[in-house]
Chain A
Amino acid sequence: GAGVSQTPSNKVTEKGKYVELRCDPISGHTALYWYRQSLGQGPEFLIYFQGTGAADDSGLPNDRFFAVRPEGSVSTLKIQRTERGDSAVYLCASSVTGTGVSPLHFGNGTRLTVT
C-alpha cells in the first residue's frame, strides 16, 4: 500500500501570504502528527490528531498556524501571514494507534521557503 503522501513537496511563497500543506496518511491510521524540522535538527512537534480531533496542539507556535482533519483522514496545515522564520521542512506522520509501540510513518515532507 501507499505510504504517507505530502503535497506539495516544495512551496515558495512571499512573506505575508497564506499557505496550505496537505498530508495523506496511510489508510486506517487513526493518529496523525505534524512536525517542523530545520536542517540537521530533530523534528519539532506541532500538533497531534486522534481521528478528527486535535488531541494535542501545544506545539503550534502561534495563532497563525492551524490544522484540520475533518474526516479523520487527510489533514491540512494552514499558515497565515507567513514569515521568513516559518521556512522549514514540514513533516507529517501517521500511526495505527498513536501509542508508543505503534511506529510513526513519515512522509517526505514539504519544504516551505518564505521569501
Chain B
Amino acid sequence: KQEVTQIPAALSVPEGENLVLNCSFTDSAIYNLQWFRQDPGKGLTSLLLIQSSQREQTSGRLNASLDKSSGRSTLYIAASQPGDSATYLCAVYHSGNQFYFGTGTSLTVIP
C-alpha cells in the first residue's frame, strides 16, 4: 500500500525566508502528485499539480518538484509571508482512483 510521509511535521520561519517542505512516497507508480494548503478548520485548497511525466511546476512564489524514481517531492516557498502560515499536505494519485495523503507540515511564518 502506498505510504506518504511529510517531514518536518511543523516548521517556524521568520518572514522573508525561503523554505522547503518535503514529501516522500513508497510506490513510484503514481499518476501525479498534488500539493494542498489547509487553513485551520477549513477544507483543502489545491496549490500545484505535478503530472508523473513532469519534473516541476511553478505558481507565483511556489515551486514544486517531483523525482518519481526516488519517491520524493519538494515544495519551495520563496520570500515567505505571514499569510503563508497554514498546513501543507501532499497527495499522490495512484491506481484505482485513489489518492493517498501525507499528514502535513504545519508552517508558521513569524512577522
Q: Are the chains A and B members of one assembly?
A: no
